[in-house]
Amino acid sequence: MPTLNWIGKDAVVKHHKDVPFRLLEPVSALSVGDVDSGNLIVQGDNLLALKALLPRYAGQVKCIYIDPPYNTGNEGWVYNDNVNSPEIRRWLGEVVGKEGETLDRHDRWLCMMYPRLMLLKQFLREDGAIFVSIDDNEVANLRLLMDEVFGASNFVAHIVQQAKDTPGNNTGGIAATHDHLLVFSRTARFVPSLLPRDAKQLATYKNPDADPRGPWLGAPLTRGEFRERDYFPLMTPRGGQVFPPKGTCWRRPKDVLDRLVAENRLWWGKDGSASFPMEKKFLSEVKEGVVPQTWWSYEFSGSTRNANAEMKDVFAGERAFDTPKPSRLVQRILQIASDKDSLVLDSFAGSGTTAHAVLKQNAEDGGNRRFILVEMDEGIARNVTAERVKRVAQGYTNAKGEAVPGLGSGFQFCTLGKPLFDARGHISNEVRFAELARFVWFMETGMGLPATRASRKAADTTSPLLGVHEGRAVYLLYNGILKDRSIDGGNVLTTPLLEHLPAHEGPRVVYGARCAIGAERLRALGIVFKQLPYHLRVAP
């Protein structure tokens, strides 16, 4: 398979593995409503934030939507769009080295995107999918990049979205009125959902003959190729015979056509004089939805003009963000790629459209989808992303002075804290049991640990058992988990402590500071001990 190469690639292909795990620091003043709703907004570099979120959410996200910088070369926007921001340039210098200073904008963009896509892939469920908005500047590079990261066999679709509903002020050349959406799945288990029929589609079903089975749509009964077996005469309502046009044949074999006639499923026009019949396809008998297509008109998924109007409405007429996406676009993605209880991730959150769309879709179909947003820019994260979601959730006054009721729910706002491990490789003193539990579970299973199992506020407050994965039980001894507040007792695997470990019929993995049991006995008990690099201490 052809692969994409660029200056700096060798420095970034494994960089996602070197990014440190970090703590998340809740900011109560910026959190809104029910902070336990499962919704989360994180402010910080999305590469660092994604690595921090992995132990919580790896393998749990059904749908990812991202709208990364289009790399147009335009630096005039609030949301820098040519990957030339101080944060990205500093990161390139640290990771790529001196040659990072001379990379052209396409090399920089590819260096920025690769490790982020590698991390995003780990969040997806086996039946999950990622949708990426992009324009002509990088769509060719992005397709090859995603082929490499997700696998060419997991390509789902290349959707063209009519982003502009007018050609604008373009005075020469060909006006670009579209964006692209590249869609890849995690595995072949992803199945796109059918989309609900809109009023225009429903209106094509009529009932001119008052058929008791309800409205129907006429479908052609001939095919544009000749098959001798399907070329035969058909009796007309007036007693004549009709053959398919020359070079064609009937779409149905004779026995099926005979059944359709008997069941009054052929339509010969109001007076029965049509040259050829149509087959009646009843609305009551077709699937409850339509197959998604790769052309999305602005009527279907919204336009840039719609998105700007939406932002002005939420922010009382203020132009708070230069390049928002319409919430209708993300809602269409959710309708295709999420179920009612899905986790949705957007690591280039910008104006917060994804969260807005999640709350709207939940309100429309009674769902309980949750969102995770990451925004690098502190000002945008606080004043645009979080503020928009706050207003949409709690209600706001629009540009016309009208009160718009809230959609409900809330979110927790977090910033990035210190790395999980300090410069010596020891676990930071600020790490608590839940945070280390998520890390241990992720390292052992590659999956995120649900919050209810990481919390020591659960029903069993003293259990070191994190869970069972593929028949293997995973335990964590940390900070006096078994109420043993001695220096060694809560962190070291000892013979007395073995009696307090929750039983499991099968292999067991125990993480702790030290092991005071011989290797032969461990093997006989089916236990593998893994040492964690932290100083012995007990919970305060």
pLDDT bracket for residue 171 (50, 70, 90): low
| pLDDT value at residue 540 | 34
Cα dihedral sign, 95-98-101-107: negative
pLDDT tens-place string over residues 62-109: 999 999 999 887 655 444 555 666 666 777 777 776 666 667 888 889
| pLDDT value at residue 534 | 57
Q: How many CB atoms lie within 10 A of CB 368?
A: 12
pTM here is 0.86
Distance of CA 293 to the CA centre of its chain: 19
Reference 349, options 133, 192, 37; nearest CA is: 133
Distance of CA 9 to the CA centre of its chain: 26
| pLDDT value at residue 82 | 57
Helix axes 46-57, 105-123, angle to 10 degrees: 10
**Exposed, middle or buried by CB within 10 Å (0-12, 13-18, 19+), for 325?**
buried
Distance of CA 23 to the CA centre of its chain: 23
| pLDDT value at residue 501 | 84
Give 333-384 as a DSSP string. HHHHH--TT-EEEESS-TTTHHHHHHHHHHHHHT---EEEEEES-HHHIIII
> Range with the lowest mean pLDDT among 217-231, 352-366, 510-524?
510-524
> Range with the lowest mean pLDDT among 64-78, 105-119, 368-382, 473-487?
473-487
- The rounded distance, in Å, linking the Cα atoms of 71 and 106 is 8
pLDDT tens-place string over residues 222-240: 999 999 999 999 999 988 9
**Radius of gyration over alpha carbons of the chain, in Å?**
29
Length of the chain counted residue by residue: 540
Percent of the chain with pLDDT over 90: 65
pLDDT tens-place string over residues 1-57: 778 999 889 889 999 988 999 999 999 999 999 888 999 999 999 999 999 999 999
Token pair, residue 473, equals 């039980």
Q: Would the pLDDT of 399 be above 90?
A: no
Give 49-113 as a DSSP string. HHHHHHHHHTT-EEEEEE------S---SSS--SS-SHHHHHHHHHHT-GGGGS--HHHHHHHHH
pLDDT tens-place string over residues 299-337: 999 999 999 999 999 999 888 898 899 999 999 999 999
The backbone region for 332, taken as left when phi is positive above 0, alpha when psi lies in -120 to 50, beta otherwise, is alpha
pLDDT tens-place string over residues 181-218: 999 999 999 999 999 888 888 999 999 999 999 999 99
| pLDDT value at residue 183 | 98
Q: Which amino acid is at 282?
A: F
b/e 474-486 (16+ beta carbons within 10 angstroms → b): bbbbbbbbbebee
pLDDT tens-place string over residues 412-457: 999 999 898 877 777 877 788 888 888 899 989 989 987 766 665 5
Reference 529, options 516, 510, 513, 514; nearest CA is: 510
Residue 362 Cα distances to 295, 340, 341, angstroms: 25, 7, 9
> With DSSP H G I counted as helix, E B as strand and the rest as coil, what are the percentages for the chain, rounded to 5?
30, 20, 45
Strand blocks (E) in 90-207: 124-134, 155-162, 178-185
- The rounded distance, in Å, linking the Cα atoms of 93 and 112 is 12
| pLDDT value at residue 137 | 92
Is 94 or 117 the better-scoring residue by pLDDT?
117
Q: Which residues contact 190 (CB under 8 A, 6 or more apart)?
A: 127, 128, 129, 156, 337
| pLDDT value at residue 232 | 95
